[in-house]
């Protein structure tokens, strides 16, 4: 009787051990779930509109409290959308060296309404015969690395009415310079958007009455080596200006736009880099 009992207990123990090993092997094969993500050989990647919880997005400004804001997560950028202006408050992106290259070309894309925001919203018809370009905030040239990123750069929530000469020349020169900096330093953080100085005599275009910005801002942060930052403000009038004439400190751009840039930086670094702007140092 004792031998039979011992045999039964031994068989039971072996069965339990076998089940446990089988379960462990199955977990190892598929990856174990930790905080909504997966570890192991097979990993689940967050979609374009998700942000991994452990990744601090250094390029994002602080939340706005003085105007409407809807955050739109895209593959190549993040936009703060204003339902009143039907344009972005700001657009921010993390531009790496690898993102400055790619086979996806803007000639294959069309400007598109953004169905993620409510109507009325900007449409292609608003720009017809307006004498203003559909000006990219996050440029198509920064999204050649991915087809979906390129497509999303043509959503009207990334677009503002921009003077043709500014769009074609000075603003384009600044976009190319930022790509040069990304290649030089490996990565830069960028935020840009429209500036509205006054409400009187405001110009509007299209049936949806899109307000024409008085100017455009861009701020750039480099965290490689000794961190540095620089800001720019270009009037939206198409008059030829040198880049150095449009340089501002980030502090000055914050005062004009009422946007707090790069709040994820430690206070001592943020205060130091935002108080200086030296184009030659770049």
pLDDT single digits (tens) 236-270:
999 999 999 999 999 999 999 999 999 999 999 99
Residue 179, pLDDT above cutoff 60: yes
Residue 169, pLDDT above cutoff 90: yes
Element (H, E) at 205: strand 204-205
Question: DSSP character for 206?
Answer: T
What are the angstrom distances between the C-alpha of 188 and each of 2, 54, 77, 89, 270?
Answer: 75, 20, 13, 20, 15
> Which pLDDT value is given to residue 52?
40
**Is the backbone of residue 61 left (phi > 0), alpha (psi -120 to 50) or beta?**
beta
Residue 92 and residue 59 in contact, taking contact as beta carbons nearer than 8 Å: yes
Residue 218 and residue 199 in contact, taking contact as beta carbons nearer than 8 Å: no
> Which pLDDT value is given to residue 199?
79
Question: DSSP character for 168?
Answer: H
- Which residues neighbour 110 within 8 Å (Cβ) at sequence distance 6 or greater? 124, 154
- Mean pLDDT, residues 81-89: 98
Residue owning tokens 């949806």: 208
Q: What is the spatial distance between Cα 150 and Cα 176, in angstroms, rounded to a whole number?
A: 16
Q: pLDDT tier at 21 (50, 70, 90 boundaries)?
A: very low
Q: What is the spatial distance between Cα 53 and Cα 35, in angstroms, rounded to a whole number?
A: 9
Say which of 94, 136, 164, 248 is annotated catalytic.
136
Structure tokens belonging to residue 223 = 């965290």
Task: Give the mean pLDDT of the chain.
Answer: 85
Residue 99 is a catalytic residue: no
Read off the pLDDT of residues 189-222 as tens digits, 9 standing for 90 and up. 999 999 999 877 899 999 999 999 999 999 999 9
pTM: 0.81
Strand partners, 191: 92, 219
- Mean pLDDT, residues 54-76: 91
């Amino acid at each position: 009787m004792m031998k039979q009992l011992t045999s039964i207990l031994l068989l039971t123990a072996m069965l339990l051990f076998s089940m446990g090993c089988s379960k462990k092997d199955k977990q190892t094969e598929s990856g174990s779930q930790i905080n909504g993500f997966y570890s192991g050989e097979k990993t689940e990647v967050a979609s374009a509109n998700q942000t991994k919880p452990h990744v601090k997005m250094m390029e994002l400004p602080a939340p706005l409290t003085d105007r409407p804001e809807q955050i739109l997560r895209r593959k190549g950028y993040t936009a703060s959308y204003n339902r009143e202006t039907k344009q972005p408050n700001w657009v921010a992106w993390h531009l790496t060296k690898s993102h400055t290259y790619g086979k996806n070309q803007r000639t294959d894309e069309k400007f598109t309404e953004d169905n993620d925001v409510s109507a009325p919203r900007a449409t292609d018809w608003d720009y017809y015969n307006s004498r203003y370009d559909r000006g990219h905030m996050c440029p198509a040239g920064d999204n050649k690395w991915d087809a979906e990123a390129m497509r999303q750069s043509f959503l009207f929530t990334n677009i503002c009415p921009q003077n043709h000469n500014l769009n074609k020349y000075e603003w384009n020169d600044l976009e190319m310079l930022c790509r040069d900096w990304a290649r030089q330093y490996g990565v830069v953080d960028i935020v840009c958007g429209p500036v509205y100085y006054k409400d009187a005599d405001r110009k509007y275009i299209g049936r949806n009455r899109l307000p024409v910005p008085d100017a455009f801002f861009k701020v750039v942060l480099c965290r490689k080596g000794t961190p540095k930052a620089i800001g720019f403000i270009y009037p939206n009038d198409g008059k030829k200006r040198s880049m150095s004439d449009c340089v501002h400190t980030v502090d000055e751009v914050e005062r004009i736009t009422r946007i707090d840039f790069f709040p994820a930086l430690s206070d001592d670094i943020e205060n130091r880099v935002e108080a200086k702007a030296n184009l030659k140092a770049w």
